[in-house]
Structure 1
Amino acid sequence: MAGERLDIVIFGATGFTGKYTVLHAAKLAAEKPFSWGIAGRRKEALEAVLKEFAPDQENIPIIIADVNDEESLKKMAERAKVIVNCCGPYRFYGEPVIKACIEARTHHVDVSGEPQFIERMALEYGKQAKEAGVYVVSACGFDSIPCDLGIIFLQQKFNGEVNSVETYLNSWNTKNTGGASIHYGTWESAVYGLAHANELRELRRKLYPEPLPKLKPKLESKGSIHRSAISEGWSMIFPGSDRSVALRTQRFLYEKYNQRPAQIQTYMTFKSFFTLLATAVIGAVFSLMTKFECGRTLLLKYPKLFSGGFVSHEGPAPESMNDAHFSLTFKACGWTEKLAEPTDEHKEPPNKEMITKVSGVNPGYGATCITLLFAALTILRESDKMPENGGVLSPGAAFGKTSIIEELNKHDLKFEVVSSIEK
C-alpha cells in the first residue's frame, strides 16, 4: 500500500452507524494513533458529522464518494489502506465498494448481517480478492463478531476437542428508557434479507460443493421454544446471521487447519414467556409480509407499527443505547482428548463441558462500531497473523490467530470462561 494513503476511511459516515463509527474512531485514534478520513455523498453533511461527533479532531480529510459513481469509489479506495464501509443495505450498495477496493488493492470491512450478500461476495470475489492481496471481511459488528470470535475463544480455551456449541443471546436495559432500539437501516436490511432467503440454498451449493463431514454425536435443535439451564428464561432460535457466519469459520478451520468443525446452534432468551410469544408473533407476521411486494412496502413504510415500536427512522436515543446491555453465553460439549483426524469417531460419548460468555453494552451502535474499527486496525497491524494473504473471509477465519480478542477485552467487550467440567 502506498505510504500516503490514510489508514482508514469511513464510508457512509453520515448514516446512523457511520456517525457513531466516527465518534469511536475519534476516541480510538487518540489512544492508538492512526490516520483516518470520512467519505460520503455530500460535503456539508460530512462536515456536520465531524463537527458533532469528532469536535476535537482537526484536519480530518473529507472524500466525496457515491455508490452510483464508480470513479468516485475508485478514487476513495485509492486514498485508503482499509475502507470501513457503513453504507447499507449491502445487498444494494455493498458490491460496488468491494469491487473498487479490490481494484485499488484496499482492504474492506463492513457490518453486514446479510448472509446472501456475504456469501455471494465470497463466491464471486473470493479469488479476485486473494489474488490482489486484499482482505474483505463482512459481519464485523454485533453481527457477528461476539458470536464468531466467542466460539474461537471457546475453542482456544477448551483444551480438547469441541463437538458442539450452543449460544444464547440475552439483552436488557437497566432503566426503563423506552423508545426505539433499532434504526430503520437495520430493519430495511432484514426485510430484504428475509424476502430473498430462498437464494441461499443454491448460493451455498455453488460456494460449498463439498459438504462438511457428518460428525457424531449430532447436535439436535432444541426446537422453537425451550428453557435452558445456562440461560434463565424462555429461549427460541435466533434468526440472525450468527450461525451462518460461524459455520463459515468452522468450515475454514476444517479445510485450512484440519480442525474438527464444531456443530452450532444459536438461540435468544427472553425473561418472560409473554415477551417471547409477542416477539414470535411479530416475527411470524414480519416473515409472512416479506414474501409479498405489498407486504414489504408496508413494512418499510410503517416500521414502528410492525416492529412494536422497536424501529424508527431516527434510531435509538443516546441514553437508550448506553443503557442497553447484552451477553452471549456459549455451551460447548466435547472430549478431553483430540483424535488424529478431525473425522475420526470417538468411541466414548463427550466427557467435557465448558461455559464461556461474551458481554458488553450498546450492542447495536457501540460494540458494533468498536468491533468494526478493531477489525480494520487488526488488518493494518497484524496481517502477518492472518491467513491466505487475502480473500473474502469471515471474522473468525480472518482474525482467529490475531490479538483482536485481547484488544476487545480492553474496550467494553468481555470474553470469559465461566466454568469447565470434565465427566
Structure 2
Amino acid sequence: MSREFDVVVYGATGFVGELTADYLARHAPEGTRIALAGRSETKLAAVRRRLGENAAGWPLIVADSDSPASLDAMCARTRVVCTTVGPYLRYGENLVVAAATAGTDYVDLTGEVPFVRYSIDKADDTARGTGARIVHSCGFDSVPSDLGAYLLHKQISDDGAGEMTDTTMVLTSMRGGASGGTVDSVRVIADQAKDAQTRRLLLNPQALSGGAGETPRAGINSEPSDISPVDARKVDPSLRGTLAPFFMASYNTRIVRRSNALRDGAYGDAFRYQETMAVGGVPGLSAVLAGAVSVGTGLFLGAMSMRPTRKALDLILPKPGQGPTEKSREAGHFVTQTFTRTTTGRRYRSQMRAHGDPGYKATAVMLGESALALALDRDRLPERSGVLTPSVAMGDVLVDRLRAAGFVVEAHELVD
C-alpha cells in the first residue's frame, strides 16, 4: 500500500498525544515516516519543537473531528492513524469511519463500551471490505488484559493442556495517577447511561462480542461480577486474602471476550473472565479493603451521574490535557497477573510488568508500539481486518515489540 506516511499521530497537542509522539521520536526506526495532526498548526509546531531533532522534519496536518473531509484527507495519506483524541464518544465517530473507508489501520486508547459498539456497527463491514484494521484500546486499557488471556491460550494450546476455564486478571501492583482523559470518558459515559438502551449495553457482559448489528443477549450473571470482591484462593491456591474489583473491569472484560469471539470461542466452552486487584493478603483486612473498593466504585459512578456531586468532583479530578510530572511518570509501574485452570486441571499464569505510570508513560509505549506494529510489521501480522482487539490484530508481533521495549510479558504453567 503506497501512502505518504507510515503513522500519523492525531491529537499530538494533547497530553498523552505528545507523550506518544515523543516515544515515537525516540524509538521509531530510522526512516519511519511520521506526521503530527490536530486542530491547530501553531500548537502542532510547538509540540514538534519540543520533540527535538528527530522530529524536526515531521510534517504537520490540520484536521478536526468535526470536519469529516479533513479526516478523510488525513487517513488517505497514511498507513496508520494513531489517535489520542477522546472522549471517543464525543470526538471519535467520524475518524473511525474515515479510517475504515480509506483502508487505513487505526489505533486508539478508548475505554468506552458504547463507542466500540458504535465502531463495530458502523465500521466493521466497511473495514473488512477495505482491509483496514480498526484496533481499539491499545494502552493500559486493554493491552495487559487482552495479551494476558491470549498468552495463556497460546501456552495451553502449545502444551496440549486442554482449554481455559475460569480466568482472572489480578492487578497485583500499580503506581500511577488517573488520566484526565479517562475521567472525561467516565463523565461522557455517565451522561449516556441515563438512556435505558445504553444502560442495557453497559450491563451486557457480551456487549462487544458480536458483529455489526449483532449484540449478543447475555444476562448480567452469565459472567463474573465486575464489582464484587473475590476470594483470592478461588482464583489460585497461591493467593491469599480477598481481591477487590478492578475499576476498569467493566470495559476490559468486554475486550477480552471480543477476542475470544473473534477467535470463534477458541479459549474454551467453559471460559469465563473477570478482573480484580490485590489489596493485601491479610484475610480480614483485605476483605474490608476489597469491600470498601467495591462500594466506593459504585458510589463514584453514581456521583458522576448526578449534577451536584459531579460538579464537586470536577473541582478535584484531573481535567483533559492534565497529567503528572515527568518525575511522577518515571516513578510509576504496574504488574498484572492472569490466572486460569484448564479443563485438564492444570494451572497457568501469565504476567505483564512495566516501569512508568501505567496511564501515561507505559500507555505511550503500548500505543506507540501498536502503531509501529501495524505500519512496519505488516507481513508478520495475522491476516485479519475489521474492528479488532490488540491480541487479534497484532498477537505475537505486539508481544515481541513490548518485550524489546523493556516490558516483561510471559506465560507459564504453575506447579505445586
TM-score band, normalised by shorter chain? 0.7 to 0.9
Match of 1:134 among 129, 132, 135: 132
SS at match of 2:342: strand
- Counterpart of 1:168 in structure 2 is 170
Instruction: Specify whether residues 264 and 258 from structure 1 end up closer, same or farther in structure 2 by C-alpha distance, changes over 3 A only.
Output: closer
- Counterpart of 2:26 in structure 1 is 27
Unaligned runs of 5+ in 2: none
Match of 1:414 among 399, 408, 411: 408
Q: Does the 8 Å CA contact 1:171/1:324 hold for their aligned counterparts?
A: no
Q: Once the 2 structures are TM-superposed, how far is the Cα of residue 109 of structure 1 from its aligned partner?
A: 0.7
- Counterpart of 1:110 in structure 2 is 108
Instruction: Specify whether residues 219 and 76 from structure 1 end up closer, same or farther in structure 2 by C-alpha distance, changes over 3 A only.
Output: closer
Aligned residue identity for 1:163 = T
SS at match of 1:416: strand
Aligned residue identity for 2:66 = N
Q: Does the 8 Å CA contact 2:101/2:126 hold for their aligned counterparts?
A: no
Match of 2:388 among 386, 390, 393: 393
- Counterpart of 2:275 in structure 1 is 266
> How many aligned residue pairs are there?
388
Q: Once the 2 structures are TM-superposed, how far is the Cα of residue 121 of structure 1 from its aligned partner?
A: 0.7
Distance 1:259 1:380 in 2: 32
Q: What CA deviation, in whole Å up to 9, does each residue of 1:366-396 have, x standing for no partner?
A: 2211111222222223444545542011112
- Counterpart of 2:12 in structure 1 is 13
The equivalences for 1:48-197 within 5 A come to 48-158=46-156, 159=159, 160=161, 161-173=163-175, 181-197=177-193
The equivalences for 1:327-366 within 5 A come to 327-335=335-343, 350-362=344-356, 363-366=358-361
The equivalences for 1:163-312 within 5 A come to 163-173=165-175, 181-197=177-193, 199=198, 201-202=200-201, 204=207, 207-208=213-214, 224-229=228-233, 230=238, 234-240=242-248, 241-254=251-264, 260=269, 262-271=271-280, 273=286, 276=290, 279-299=293-313, 301-304=314-317
Q: What CA deviation, in whole Å up to 9, does each residue of 1:329-375 have, x standing for no partner?
A: 1111113xxxxxxxxxxxxxx41111221111221112211111222
Distance 1:361 1:117 in 2: 29
Distance 2:324 2:242 in 1: 26
Distance 1:222 1:135 in 2: 29
Q: What CA deviation, in whole Å up to 9, does each residue of 1:188-240 have, x standing for no partner?
A: 1022224435516358387545569xxxxx97659723452555664222231
SS at match of 2:415: strand
Cα RMSD for the two superposed structures? 2.9
Q: Once the 2 structures are TM-superposed, how far is the Cα of residue 322 of structure 1 from its aligned partner?
A: 1.2
Instruction: Report % sequence identity.
Output: 25
Instruction: Specify whether residues 333 and 170 from structure 1 end up closer, same or farther in structure 2 by C-alpha distance, changes over 3 A only.
Output: same
Instruction: Specify whether residues 408 and 33 from structure 1 end up closer, same or farther in structure 2 by C-alpha distance, changes over 3 A only.
Output: farther
Aligned residue identity for 2:407 = L
- Counterpart of 1:2 in structure 2 is 2
SS at match of 1:71: helix
Q: Once the 2 structures are TM-superposed, how far is the Cα of residue 40 of structure 1 from its aligned partner?
A: 0.6
SS at match of 1:315: coil
Distance 1:378 1:267 in 2: 29
The equivalences for 1:372-387 within 5 A come to 372-387=367-382
Instruction: Specify whether residues 311 and 154 from structure 1 end up closer, same or farther in structure 2 by C-alpha distance, changes over 3 A only.
Output: farther
Q: Does the 8 Å CA contact 1:182/1:312 hold for their aligned counterparts?
A: no
Distance 1:312 1:209 in 2: 31
Q: Once the 2 structures are TM-superposed, how far is the Cα of residue 280 of structure 1 from its aligned partner?
A: 4.3
Instruction: Specify whether residues 95 and 361 from structure 1 end up closer, same or farther in structure 2 by C-alpha distance, changes over 3 A only.
Output: same
Instruction: Specify whether residues 286 and 221 from structure 1 end up closer, same or farther in structure 2 by C-alpha distance, changes over 3 A only.
Output: closer
Q: Once the 2 structures are TM-superposed, how far is the Cα of residue 416 of structure 1 from its aligned partner?
A: 2.2
Q: Once the 2 structures are TM-superposed, how far is the Cα of residue 149 of structure 1 from its aligned partner?
A: 0.9
Distance 1:261 1:384 in 2: 34
- Counterpart of 1:346 in structure 2 is none
SS at match of 2:373: helix
